[in-house]
Amino acid sequence: MKNNFYLDLAKKYGTPLYVYDGDVIARKFNQFKAAFKVKSLKIHFAAKALTNLAILRLFKELGAGLDCVSIEEIKLGLQAGFDPSDIIYTPNGVAFSEYEEAIKLGTKVTIDNLPTLEKIGIHYPNLPIFIRLNPHLMAGGNSKISVGHIGSKFGISIHQLPNILRLVKKYSIQVEGIHVHTGSDIIQVDIFKRVAELLFSIADQFENIKSIDFGSGFKIKYRDSDIYTDIQLIGSQFATYFNAYCEKRKRDLTLRFEPGKYLVSDAGVFLTQVNVVKLTTACTFIGVNSGFNHFIRPMFYDAYHEIENISNPEGEKKMYSVVGYICESDTFAEDRLINEARENDILLFRNSGAYCYSMSSNYNSRLRPAEVLVLKGKDYLIRERESFDDLIRHQNIPVVKNWI
């Protein structure tokens, strides 16, 4: 979308503001779908990346399923119109009562530890379930983003496969599918292939399995030099392995994925306004009307986000550090060349669709931003800006006679 359109939206709705381009989301979803040519494919959007009800509805309209990691996300999915059977519940470390609630609501559940598997066997022996495995494979050797390594809390270790099989046999548990989400970056086809081969060999142990869920890990570009998942390439090669495995088993298994970031990250931008341009002896800061309370990725993950001054696109490029208004060192970007910034200019942060609004908070008692969805050039307010009333809604000052 054109920067002038974003300027108009900033004027219309105020800042800070999240804007999502629904047409981009649809294009990414359809590209993803087209990349994997298998008989049965189901793409579950990982709700935690961007949980706004309107976004969830858009995914429903696109024919996606949902991947939820909490009972609240499930309820949001149902509210958005999803059929419970299109929702996969993939939590970790939750109480058994939460699984029971998800089962009652009719979602598919993925079991991520042995004690829970045993409880399923005792209480729900006929319920078809998914089992989350930890294959202990790491892509690229970056342990920070991998959840598949040996010390990871996620999934049941493949070394405990005998324990899984023992419980499955003892209680006649119905294993409908197996699941991995390594969290690793899926860039190289060969690593993906290794995970697949491992999973196929495990799948061989389960006679009635109907689907295999490969989670996510699809990487997008935050800057031009970033390596990213070539979905066409990965998809076509992966489909070949998968189809060969189906042929071997003489059964059409459903291939499932749970992308979050890949589908929504570059569909979103975050708009902030320049409060102050502050020259110090070391550098020039641009202070904006937001902070890590609204946009935590640079501080939390050292994430890089492109930042543009859309109010002054012809302005001379200068070196700036862009910082927030929170009473902590909340730096969005250091030493960036940005068109000259002046008070009240609008800065646009790219790749703000995934894990941005959904990780926001009220720290410093600041109000959370509004969210806008654009569909075919028309803008819709999909979440109102918070008000001071929202902030105090659930707080009470007790009625006490003698406080001290």
User: Catalytic residues, which ones?
Assistant: 327
Residue with Cβ nearer ligand PLP (148 or 324): 148
Residue with Cβ nearer ligand PLP (216 or 272): 216
Q: State the DSSP code for 186.
A: B
Minimum CB separation of residue 223 from ligand PLP in Å reads: 18
When asked if residue 67 is in the footprint of ligand PLP (CB under 6 A), the reply is: yes
Residue with Cβ nearer ligand PLP (116 or 216): 216
Minimum CB separation of residue 155 from ligand PLP in Å reads: 9
Using CB under 6 A as the binding rule, the residues of this chain from 165 to 204 that contact ligand PLP are 181
Gap between the Cα atoms of 185 and 5, Å rounded: 34
Which spans in 48-134 are helix H?
A: 53-62, 71-79, 96-105, 114-123
**# residues contacting ligand PLP (CB under 6 A):** 17
When asked if residue 108 is in the footprint of ligand PLP (CB under 6 A), the reply is: no
Gap between the Cα atoms of 66 and 237, Å rounded: 25
- Dmax (CA) of the chain: 77
Residues 6+ apart with CB under 8 A from 183: 145, 146, 147, 148, 154, 215, 216, 217
Provide the mask over 327-366, with x wherever binding to ligand PLP is found by CB under 6 A and - wherever it is not: ---------------------------x------------
231 touches 186 (CB < 8 A): no
Q: At what angle do helices 96-105 and 114-123 cross, to 10 degrees?
A: 50
Nearest residue (beta carbon) to ligand PLP: 260
Residue with Cβ nearer ligand PLP (69 or 131): 69
Gap between the Cα atoms of 187 and 203, Å rounded: 24
> Given candidates 15, 90, 229, 360, which one binds ligand PLP under the rule CB under 6 A?
90
Minimum CB separation of residue 268 from ligand PLP in Å reads: 13
Provide the mask over 215-254, with x wherever binding to ligand PLP is found by CB under 6 A and - wherever it is not: xxxx------------------------------------
Minimum CB separation of residue 374 from ligand PLP in Å reads: 22
Residue with Cβ nearer ligand PLP (109 or 323): 109
Q: Per CB under 6 A, which region of 193-201, 256-264, 269-277, 376-384 contacts ligand PLP?
A: 256-264
Q: What does the DSSP assignment read for 20-65?
A: EEHHHHHHHHHHHHHH---SSEEEEEEGGG---HHHHHHHHHHT-E
Q: Per CB under 6 A, which region of 123-131, 211-219, 242-250, 320-328 contacts ligand PLP?
A: 211-219
When asked if residue 255 is in the footprint of ligand PLP (CB under 6 A), the reply is: no
Residues in the chain: 404
Residues 6+ apart with CB under 8 A from 72: none
Minimum CB separation of residue 40 from ligand PLP in Å reads: 19
Bridge partners of 308, per DSSP, are 348
Q: Per CB under 6 A, which region of 46-54, 99-107, 363-371, 396-404 contacts ligand PLP?
A: 46-54
> Given candidates 69, 102, 209, 255, which one binds ligand PLP under the rule CB under 6 A?
69
HSE at residue 80, side-chain half, CA atoms within 13 A, is 27
Residue with Cβ nearer ligand PLP (220 or 271): 220
Closest-CA residue to 83 (of 108, 100, 58, 101): 108
Residues 6+ apart with CB under 8 A from 60: 80, 81, 82
Peptide bond into 16 cis (omega under 30): yes
Interface positions with ligand PLP (CB under 6 A): 46, 48-49, 67, 69, 90, 181, 215-218, 258-262, 354
